Amino acid sequence: MILFNYSTIIDPIFKDVRTCVVELSGIKAGDRVLDVACGTGDQVFHYEQKGAIATGVDRNPNMIELAERNKKRQGFNSTFHTASATELSFPDGCFDCASISLALHEMERDERTKAVSEMKRVVKKKGTLIFVDFHSPLRRNFLGYFIRTIEFIAGKDNHKCFRDYLDQGGLKGIFKEAGIKVQREYFFWSGNLHVIKAINP
């Protein structure tokens, strides 16, 4: 029931973000695209609607099962696999683009480093990388405080990762450590959600 609610209530909230990610990616029909930590598969389906050959991975098999159900219900052809963001089972440079949304802040710092490294590995040189996550620092507005509250009640381990993500400087801090340069960026949710496009070096 929780997964059902996620698909029917949470996904619509991200509609504008999903659309922005597709437009920002610059993908064309026939491009191979990977969405890491794909959850319900919603971003993957947006890629497929653009004509991309889209693949989603998530470490939670229940989410992959839900994505497969959504795929069948909506008539898509995307591919889904159960896999960790830190161990992507794909050859080097096999995708034109890879994205990850609201997952890095849930990881330990070394996992964030590995996840970004794996995304860089499976995307071809000069390919596109898209990252969506909370802005650091969070804005001092209602949504900023709401996000802090949700992350706090999500549990001790989750909150620890969230705090460390913010301390690291969010996506830009991760980019600096990974040697990735920001090409374009957008903000949603009153400045609290950060969307960044980069070119794989």
**Which residues face 98 on adjacent strands?**
34, 129
pLDDT of residue 3 exceeding 60, the answer is: no
What value does the mean pLDDT of the chain take? Answer: 94
CA distances from 26 to 23, 60, 99, 108, 131 (A): 6, 29, 12, 30, 14
What does the angle CA 127 – CA 47 – CA 158 come to, to the nearest 5 degrees? Answer: 85
Instruction: Give 66-99 pLDDT, tens digit per residue.
Output: 999 999 999 999 999 999 999 999 999 999 999 9
pLDDT-derived band at 6 (thresholds 50, 70, 90) equals low
Domain CATH code at residue 71: 3.40.50.150
- Of 194, 180, 189, residue with least CA distance to 101: 194
Q: Which domain holds residue 16?
A: 2-199
Whose tokens are 């980019």? That residue is 175
Contact between 166 and 106 (Cβ < 8 Å)? no
pLDDT-derived band at 9 (thresholds 50, 70, 90) equals low
Mean pLDDT of 121-125: 98
Q: Which residues of 54-67 are buried (b: 16+ CB within 10 A; e: fewer)?
A: bbbbbeeeebbebb
Number of domains the chain is built from: 1
